[in-house]
Amino acid sequence: MRLAYVIVIAAVLAGCADKVSKEEQEAAKNTYVCLLDGERLVIRFDMGMARMLMPSGDRIDLYQIPATSGVRFSNGNLELRGKGTDLVLLDAAAATQVALAQCTPYTAPKP
């Protein structure tokens, strides 16, 4: 009986590991990693939004707005514009515009 219980738990945990791995892979599909002033910035594009994880650890949501070409997302303070992996981040408060460097699709780590 005890061995059967251990086998069931192991099977459930194995199933959870596969599920997490698939979820991570799905999340990574529309995720890019770029450099902002030499530091890592992660951007995930999802349903009319761009969710950014800043080098400082802050999470910022930007909302898609119409663009004549390419993509454009803003929250009123920050704006992300570009085509493909050529992206620019504009900061209205600081009146700065920074081209994001080395933007590449995110690859989920192997389990």
pLDDT at site 109? 74
- Other CB atoms within 10 Å distance of the CB of residue 109: 8
Could you give the domains of the chain? Answer: 30-105 (2.40.128)
Burial class (CB in 10 A: 0-12, 13-18, 19+), 43: buried
Q: What is the pLDDT along the chain (111 residues), one digit of tens a residue?
A: 443 333 333 333 444 444 546 666 665 678 999 999 999 999 999 999 999 999 999 999 999 999 999 999 999 999 999 998 999 999 999 999 999 999 999 987 777
Phi-psi region of 82 (alpha: psi -120 to 50; beta: other; left: phi over 0): left
38: amino acid identity, one letter: G
State the pTM of this model: 0.73
pLDDT at site 25? 62
Q: Is 37 helix (H, G, I), strand (E, B) or coil?
A: coil
pLDDT at site 62? 97
Q: d(Cα 29, Cα 47) in Å, to the nearest integer?
A: 13
